[in-house]
């Protein structure tokens, strides 16, 4: 079963979920704005994505512009910031076993199925 960190208000997230379903995948949907991943979960996902925490930040979000733009943080601080402000987590993220992909564009996730 694949897991998608999903925001139903995001068109890319909806498109990625639809693509997974069209591929016949059993999907666990995690609405991360309601059920925020823990710091440990985020570290695990980042490891699978092979990304640094700052690379997973949505820099267009108002909370980023207001509070974090232009500031330097450690990896652990960025993870704490994402846990406290889940809207800053880039979406959608699909995890399949020990692999993960960002669904931007949605077709990116096909490589890990």
Task: Tell me the per-residue pLDDT of 45-83, one tens digit each, with 9 for 90 and over.
Answer: 999 999 999 999 999 999 999 999 999 999 999 999 999
**Annotation marks residue 76 as catalytic:** no
Q: What is the per-residue pLDDT for 51?
A: 98
Q: Kindly report the CATH class assigned to 2-112.
A: alpha beta
- One of 6, 8, 10, 87 is an active-site residue; which one? 10
pTM for this structure?
0.96
DSSP 64-108: HHHHTTT----HHHHHHHHHH-GGGB-S-EEEETTEEEE-SSGGG
Residue 44 — pLDDT band, cuts 50, 70, 90?
very high
Q: So where are the chain's domains?
A: 2-112
Task: Provide the percentage of residues in the chain whose pLDDT is more than 70.
Answer: 100
């Amino acid at each position: 079963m694949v897991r998608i960190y999903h925001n139903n208000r995001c068109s890319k997230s909806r498109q990625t979920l639809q693509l997974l379903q069209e591929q016949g995948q059993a999907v666990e949907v995690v609405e991360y704005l309601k059920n925020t991943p823990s710091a440990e979960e985020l570290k695990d996902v980042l490891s699978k994505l092979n990304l640094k925490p700052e690379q997973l930040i949505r820099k267009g979000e108002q909370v980023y512009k207001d509070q974090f733009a232009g500031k330097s943080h450690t990896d652990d601080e960025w993870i704490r910031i994402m846990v406290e402000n889940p809207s800053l987590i880039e979406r959608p993220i699909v995890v399949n076993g020990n692999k993960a992909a960002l669904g931007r564009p949605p077709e990116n996730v096909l490589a890990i199925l």
